[in-house]
Amino acid sequence: MEKLYDIPTAAQMLGGVSHWTVRAWLREARLTPTRVGGRVMLSERELDRFLREEQTRPRKKRVLAPRGKANPKHALASCSP
């Protein structure tokens, strides 16, 4: 019989992420739940699959503003009349 984990336990097994993050991944269909009665559980096999896919998944590159450049919105807020 396959091991099943509740969302808080699965969150810990996925590197200590928040249970809200696990719920978001379920909504985004990045994780597939197993329902037991009215409970949402995650199988050990599903957690292993997810971790393998996340290791090979390309990451989005974050674009950061160059250092020393002020954000124009913030610059206007600090001006005095």
Q: Is residue 61 part of a domain?
A: no
As for how many domains the chain has, the answer is 1
Neighbours of 53 (CB within 10 A): 10
Residue 24, helix vs strand vs coil:
helix
* Dist CA 24 CA 44 (whole Å): 19
Q: Which CATH number covers residue 38?
A: 1.10.1660
Q: Residue 37 sits in which domain range?
A: 4-56
Q: Residue 41's beta-bridge partner residues?
A: 34
The two structure tokens encoding residue 44: 């050990």
Confidence (pTM): 0.68
Instruction: Return per-residue pLDDT of the chain as tens, 81 residues.
Output: 789 999 999 999 999 999 999 999 999 999 999 999 999 999 999 999 999 998 887 777 777 767 765 555 655 555 555
